Amino acid sequence: MSAAVADAPVAGEDLVVVYHKRRNVELVMTLFAAGMGIASYLLVEMNLFNTLPTNWPVVAGIWLAIAVIAHLAIRFRVPYADPLILPCVILLNGLGLAMIHRIDKIPDPVRTDATNQLVWTGLALVLFVTALIVVRDHRPLQGYTYTLCAAGLLLLLMPLLPGIGKEVYGSRIWIGIGPFSFQPSEVAKIVLAVGFASYLVEKKDVLALAGARFLGIDLPRPRDLGPILLMWLASLAVLVFQKDLGTSLLFFGLFVMMLYVATERPSWAILGVLLFSAGAYAGYLLFGHVQTRVSGWLDPFSDFDRNNQIINAQFGLAWGGLVGRGWGLGRPGLTTFAKSDFIAGAIGEELGMAGLMAVIMVYALIVARGLRTALAAKEPFGKLLAAGLSFVFALQVFAIIGGVTRLLPLTGLTTPFMSQGGSSLVANWVLAALLLIISHQARKPIAQVSADPLAGQAYGDAETTQVIHGAHRVGRRGA
């Protein structure tokens, strides 16, 4: 993790940190992560039927092929990308597939949702590779500020359009075209993160200007409140008309966080919390679906029929205990939507609290590597975009797992890479691709040019950088 220097620098010399590519390390960890998914799938079959399925070599081969193709795309397109993100993605995706397959095996009826999820994983891989090939460098995206912001808001509010908007289980967050349905908010979180980053890089100096001072805090100028009020109104529209507390929290929280990071003004974060709290409280007073979520959080046993989902999940976690019942040995099917909204509860029942905490730590590792990428990025747009993508990912994980464990009201968001559903899976693979692209640009060597025009021309290879004049030393940094 620390930089190593070939020769100790002396006075007047500069230190240039050069990262190793670490692709072989990534390959080993990716194969290990894929093996964990295959082992989970086989344990389900052994514990349920005391035998292995006849097609298990085909399933294992497909999953290994997906992992290897993703690795090769990184190796040849973004060779300096972070080596830990892909193994974490493969591990989470594999565990999610194994758990969906396990719930498929619960009789009455026997379903094949795991096969559908594997197909969606293949599509996500195609878009992941496409993003690495087409984008490769994130910086040109900064030129589409208002187009991306408008497209993101349109995607966010698209389920409200008559004809294509669909209401499913009380929430209007889907669009339907023929037999296909899609959740546009999953794509909107990426589009809006890019648009917000571009906008805030351009406007951060203006938004950082201080207005009145109150209790030692410099408040924003009233004339600068337009963007945050616009996003607040958009989040309220999602809460009121789409009846989706989770998406409302996700997007308003994303904007406020990126605004705080861009301006370094605590007053923006405080104002954002106050605005969302006021909107959420007004929603609680005015709308029954918000009251239902809060009631299920504070007192689920007050209405067993309405809150049986969260109640069964709590019983499942309690029955799983510390080490769990084992793959295929619990009863996660008793919880409604165990494959999607409550897959974290199913993991906690069969792998125990230890297994659920391990999964949370894998999510935390992805967030940590994303924030590390933000710190390493060499330009403001990359820093802000990597921080925004990492935060929206972390907030989504926190909101859904917090809802399942009753730390928070249930939000209805998906558990990234694990929950059943193609929209979430595809969007999060693309999000991972963007983080890898930014990390590649942040970690790759940069040719150094001397300030002295008589010193000559810089030269170097893929691994080292040297300047004739000034004798720059090259440091080596690991993952």
- For residue 465, count other CB atoms closer than 10 A to its CB: 18
CA dist 283 to 134, 255, 277, 306, Å? 42, 20, 10, 19
Q: What is the mean pLDDT of residues 211-239?
A: 74
Residue 237 burial by Cβ neighbours in a 10 Å radius (0-12, 13-18, 19+): middle
d(CA 78, CA 441): 8
Confidence band of 333 (pLDDT split at 50, 70, 90): confident
Q: What is the mean pLDDT of residues 442-452?
A: 61
What percentage of the chain's residues is helix, strand, coil (to nearest 5)? Answer: 65, 10, 25
Confidence band of 23 (pLDDT split at 50, 70, 90): very high
Residues with Cβ < 8 Å from 139, sequence gap 6 or more? 379, 381, 382, 441
Task: Give pTM, 2 decimals.
Answer: 0.88
Token pair, residue 205, equals 């100096």
Residue 478, pLDDT score: 54
Q: What is the mean pLDDT of residues 163-173?
A: 73
d(CA 60, CA 276): 46
d(CA 132, CA 142): 17
Residue 119, pLDDT score: 94
Cα maximum dimension of the chain: 81
Residue 286, pLDDT score: 79
Q: What is the mean pLDDT of residues 171-192?
A: 82
Q: How many separate helices (H) and strands (E) can be counted in the chain? A: 14, 10
Confidence band of 10 (pLDDT split at 50, 70, 90): very low
Residue 457, pLDDT score: 37
Residue 268, pLDDT score: 81
Contact (CB, 8 A) for 430 and 131? yes
Instruction: Render pLDDT for 384-427 as a digit per residue (tens, 0 to 9).
Output: 999 999 999 999 999 999 999 999 888 878 899 999 988 999 99
Task: List the single range of 6-10, 23-27, 325-329 with lowest mean pLDDT.
Answer: 6-10
Instruction: Render pLDDT for 26-55 as a digit per residue (tens, 0 to 9).
Output: 999 999 999 999 999 999 999 999 999 899
d(CA 311, CA 324): 18
Nearest to 66 by CA among 28, 103, 93: 93
Q: Which amino acid type is present at position 73?
A: A
Radius of gyration of the chain (CA): 24
Confidence band of 458 (pLDDT split at 50, 70, 90): very low
Q: Percent of the chain beyond pLDDT 70? A: 85
d(CA 82, CA 202): 27
Residue 227, pLDDT score: 78
Instruction: Render pLDDT for 103-113 as a digit per residue (tens, 0 to 9).
Output: 998 875 567 88
pLDDT at 7 over 60: no
State the helix-helix crossing angle for 343-376 and 304-320, rounded to 10 degrees: 80
Residues with Cβ < 8 Å from 209, sequence gap 6 or more? 220, 221, 224
Residues with Cβ < 8 Å from 272, sequence gap 6 or more? 228, 252, 253, 255, 256, 259, 260
pLDDT at 1 over 50: no
pLDDT at 477 over 60: no
pLDDT at 475 over 60: no
Confidence band of 219 (pLDDT split at 50, 70, 90): low
Residues with Cβ < 8 Å from 191, sequence gap 6 or more? 148, 151, 152, 155
Q: What is the mean pLDDT of residues 433-456?
A: 70
Confidence band of 248 (pLDDT split at 50, 70, 90): confident
CA dist 379 to 37, 139, 368, Å? 37, 9, 19
Q: What is the mean pLDDT of residues 320-325?
A: 93
Residue 449, pLDDT score: 36
pLDDT at 321 over 90: yes
Instruction: Render pLDDT for 267-313 as a digit per residue (tens, 0 to 9).
Output: 888 888 888 888 888 888 877 777 888 888 888 888 888 888 899 99
Task: Compute the CA torsion angle 389, 393, 396, 399 (nearest 10 deg).
Answer: -110
